[in-house]
Structure 1
Amino acid sequence: MSLIQEYKNIIFPKDIVGMFADIVEQDEVLLNVFTYIARKSQEEGKFFKGVTVNDISKMVKIERPVKVVKGKQIHFENQVTYIHRQAAGKIVDKLFAMSLLSCKPLTPYKYFFITKRGLQIIQEIIERQQKLGAENNG
């Protein structure tokens, strides 16, 4: 039995939820991947079968430097483009290590699901964004 399964019903206290929400919000790419998984889970409801790293690399866009060649000169410009598969894999591993995702390996893929703790963090992030939106509009 994996550690994730052993502690799957444990929830974070409020201060830990705030800390993890801060960590996720600090990294824009981490936030984009995490919210994509949460959104996908909510959209599909009980029919949610999980998300693979390939799904993430095909659906999540981020701003990153892209090499541009003009004649003999090469430089990098920031462009909004899809995340690389390797980068998506590292982000998913980080979320998994934080116990915000669980994994169900089905050869040759690993399907990732949001955990109860992950739901706590995404709810905190949504509440913060709503408060921020209300303050900016009010």
Structure 2
Amino acid sequence: MNREQHEMYKDVSLPGILRKMFADLISSDPVVLQVFSFIAERTWNHEDKETEIGVMFSDLVESVKIKRKVLQKKSRFQEVHTNIERRHAERIVDKFLMMGLCYFRSFGPSKAFYITLRGKEVYVVIKKLKEAGSQTEENN
């Protein structure tokens, strides 16, 4: 979703069942959840500061850490905690753009990503699910 599309649909919100479904889908993959959370937290109040640049792919690559298998010497793979690859981040963000949870602004060859109203709604549901999950674990 580019900025023009965002302006056209910026006041459209998701029904509760879709919020829950998107929250479940995003929460099911820890890497997708990390990327979505990073974008949401960094751009939550961006409309108040129009001069602020959103999240770039370089920000995601530097900040999002994942566990992945890396080829070591002698054809062995070892699981390491390292930065997400740019192509992986691009695929994840493309999904958010298609779902209408984020939008982008172009700055020359680069793109800055921002969360939409729908993305904020889904992020609130994710936070509630996390809180409910942590309270359930504490009670057990």
Give the structure 1 partner of residue 124 of structure 2. Answer: 123
Find out whether 1:108 has 2:112 as its counterpart.
no
Give the structure 2 partner of residue 38 of structure 1. Answer: 40
Deviations 1:102-134 (A, max 9, x none): 111111210000000000111000000001111
Q: Offset of 1:4 from its aligned partner? A: 3.1
Give unmatched runs, 5+ long, in structure 1. Answer: none
**Are the aligned partners of 1:63 and 1:78 in contact in 2 as well (CA < 8 Å)?**
yes
% identity of equivalent residues? 30
RMSD, matched Cα? 1.8
- Structure 1 window deviating more from structure 2 (41-50 vs 21-30): it is 41-50
Secondary structure of 2:13's partner? coil
| Alignment: residue pair count | 135
Residues of 1 paired with 2:10 and 2:44: CA distance? 19
Deviations 1:36-89 (A, max 9, x none): 1112224878444200111101111011111111xxx21111111000111111
Q: Relative CO higher for 1 or 2, CA cutoff 8 Å, sep ≥ 6?
A: 2
Write the letter of the residue equivalent to 1:84: E
Give the structure 1 partner of residue 69 of structure 2. Answer: 65
- TM-score for both structures, normalised by structure 1: 0.90
Residues of 2 paired with 1:43 and 1:132: CA distance? 27
**Are the aligned partners of 1:53 and 1:92 in contact in 2 as well (CA < 8 Å)?**
no
